[in-house]
Amino acid sequence: MKNAADLEIASVVNLTKAAKLYSSSIFSELTHQSLPIPVVANEGTYMAYLYCHAEILEAREGLQLWAPSHLAYVDANTCEFSKIVAVNPGVFNLGDAVDTPVGSYLTPPEQNSDKFLTSMVRLMQVYDEVITSFLRGEDPQLPKIIEQRKNFSGLFAKVSERCLRSYYFAVSQPFFDWVRVSSGVK
């Protein structure tokens, strides 16, 4: 693997677009794609994405999300789709059922509100900053990095799917420990 400090990864916006483009050919419209999850492995640096069934079952109960069924990896340097693997809660050492929702998220109209969209764009901007700092191994106690981590944590709490946070942390515990984002669940 290259030295992480020398890596120049693609923007999370481009990585997320690549993940959506490639996954749309294999998943139904009732599939939800997670936010990007940075993963550093011996083979390289990737952005991982969780995929789960998503459906509105009852009015006013939000978009119901099931446990992730797939995990995809996009090369963080080239935006090339690397691999996709079938998963279940046991893979992550979690005990969620696979045949019932694990929780709810915002409905598509709620995800299109000005407030949500603004928070999402801001999160993508901060993602780029914080991932670069993480990969370079920058001291998380530097004032600039503290501010990045604080901004990321606040926006991640607003935008991410609370019911999937345990899965995010299972995929990339080192990253979430570094930014010190708490799952806020279980």
Q: What is the pLDDT of residues 59-104, one digit of tens each?
A: 788 999 999 999 999 999 999 999 999 999 999 999 999 999 999 9
Distance CA 152, CA 148 (A): 6
Alpha-carbon distance of 145 to 143, in angstroms, equals: 5
Tell me: pLDDT of 2 over 70.
no
Q: Write phi, then psi, for 79 (nearest 5 degrees).
A: 65, 15
Confidence check: pLDDT of 108 > 50? yes
pLDDT digits (tens, 9 = 90+) for 122-174: 999 999 999 999 999 999 999 999 999 999 999 999 999 999 999 999 999 99
- Token couple for 95: 């005990």
Give the Cα separation of 107 and 170 in Å (integer): 25
* Token pair recorded at residue 164: 């999937």
Q: What is the model's pLDDT at position 59? A: 78
On whether the pTM is more than 0.85, the answer is yes
CA-nearest of 66, 68, 59, 75 to 18 is: 75
pLDDT at 1: 39
Q: 140: which DSSP letter?
A: T
